Amino acid sequence: MTIKSRNDFIKYSFYGRPSFRGEPMSRLKISHTLIALFLVVAVIVAALAVSSLGGIKMMNERNNEIATTWLPRVSLSRALETQLSDTRMAFARHLISLTPFEKKAAEKVIGQTVEGFNKLADDYAALMVTDADKAALEKVRAAYQAYLAIADGMVKLSNNLENMKAQSVFKVEMRETEQKVDEAIKEVRALNVAGADAAVAASSATHDQIRMIEMAVIAVAAIIVLGAILYAVRGIARPIQIITRSMARLAEGDTDSSIPYGARKDEIGEMARAVEVFRQAAITNQQLEADAQAQRAQAEADRLRLTEEAETAAQHRLQEATAGLAGGLRRLASGDLAFQLDEPFAPDFEQLRHDLNQAVAQLADTLAAVSASSGSIDSGAREVSQSADDLSRRTEQQAASLEETAAALDQITVNVGNSSKRTNEPVPSPARQTKAPANPAPSSRAPSMPWAASSIRRARSRTSSASSMKLPSRRTFWR
């Protein structure tokens, strides 16, 4: 069945119907697969841990058995041999003692060694487990008691100073009995050594068993990990890489290539179906972009047509407005201030017509006011011109009077200069000096000469300034 729309694609993709490559595959989701793998690995780790703990427990039991049972028993058997040797040495010391004091000391040592042997036997009895151990220990004790019975006879002989008989008992009878005790102790020791060897062998077997189990578990875990890696590479990484390349081609604009793995039922299939949705959306977007481009082209053509029509209409309105304004300005240039533009303009230029009519009306009113004011200005100018003529005549008269005053001042200046010359002449003879007091007037006028000279200079300067001043004529003033 073919997919005709994106909704059909989503329907057939997400409900398990064939969408890309044949029939849908039976496959677990990646999350479920990973959970299963993790559970298997967890079970393997748990089994490994349980087996390790069991092995460690068994090894611990074996080691405890060796450490707490077999090794102490072997050690006690060796200690019994040593104690038997010490007992023999104690009896030999008693045999070679000469004084009663030395013999008493030797008997004391003999008692201590016997007590020590019995204590070691009791300690060994506390560690016995099997009947064979009990029988072996009873044999040792019986042989040791027989040895002590013969040794008591040797001690009595030694105390009675029967040294030859005592030595004979010590070397023959006690020697034979001692060998029996030693053989019994060796049997005990051999029994313990055999038990210890068996425990060590069991521990080694347990260790080998644990190692085999762990190696098997590790091998199974390694196989599962390798399978998981193979699954991750082939089932997850490679499909994701292929889908990524498909997404890159889709981002570059390749909508013809199909998206693989869309039939899978896991997350890879969901990803592929989601990318297919994007591909279908990209195809739809391309179709929409083509439609939008055609619509934009049509809209642009309509816009250009409407713009051209609007510009033509605006040009026509502008021509009408400029023609009306040009006619009004021509009438205004010819001096017609009473006209008005009565023909209405386009709405965009109607305000311009009103403004021109209002400006022409205000200009007419202003010029009328200027014309009315020009008459008043002309009459005032005539009055000012008449007053200027009168002022000019009076100024000319004053200038003439000043010239006459200047001439008089020149004359005075000459007279004053002559007087100054006479004053500066040399002193006359004694006969003449006697006559001088009769005319004291010149000496009394001499101090006033500087003041007269300064007055004359001021009069000259005023006269020269008055003569240089020129009044404007009536025509010049009017201008």
Pair 473, 384: CB distance under 8 Å: no
The number of beta carbons lying within 10 Å of the beta carbon of residue 303 is 11
**Listed residue (53, 36, 39) closest to 214, CA to CA:** 53
- For every residue of 375-429, DSSP letters joined together read HHHHHHHHHHHHHHHHHHHHHHHHHHHHHHHHHHHHHHHHHHHHHHHHHTSPP--
pLDDT of residue 433: 45
Q: In this predicted structure, what is the pLDDT of residue 353?
A: 76
Q: What mean pLDDT do residues 2-13 have?
A: 43
Tens digits of residue pLDDT in 152-199: 888 888 888 888 888 888 888 888 888 888 888 888 888 878 877 887
Short-list 137, 237, 269, CA closest to 191: 137
Residue 464: band (very low, low, confident or very high) from pLDDT cuts 50, 70, 90: low
Give the number of other Cβ atoms within 10 Å of residue 103's Cβ.
19
CB within 8 A of 120, min separation 6: which ones? 76, 79, 80, 83
Average pLDDT over residues 291-306: 90
Q: How many residues does the chain have?
A: 479
pLDDT at 422 > cutoff 60: yes
- The chain-wide mean pLDDT, for the chain, equals 76
Residue holding tokens 């002590």? 148
> Average pLDDT in the 87-103 region?
84
| CATH topology classification for 21-251 | Four Helix Bundle (Hemerythrin (Met), subunit A) (1.20.120)
Q: What is the pLDDT of residues 257-298, one digit of tens each?
A: 888 887 887 788 888 888 888 888 888 888 888 899 999 999
- Distance of alpha carbon 225 from alpha carbon 223, whole angstroms: 5
Compute the distance between CA of residue 454 and CA of residue 445 in angstroms, rounded to an integer. Answer: 16
Task: List pLDDT tens digits, range 201-236.
Answer: 887 888 788 888 888 888 888 888 888 888 888 878
Gap between the Cα atoms of 462 and 440, Å rounded: 36
> In this predicted model, what pLDDT tens digit does every residue of 309-366 receive, in sequence order?
888 887 877 777 787 778 777 777 777 767 677 778 777 777 877 787 888 778 778 8
**What CA–CA distance (Å, rounded) separates 457 from 410?**
10
Pairwise pLDDT comparison (215 vs 58), residue with the higher score: 215
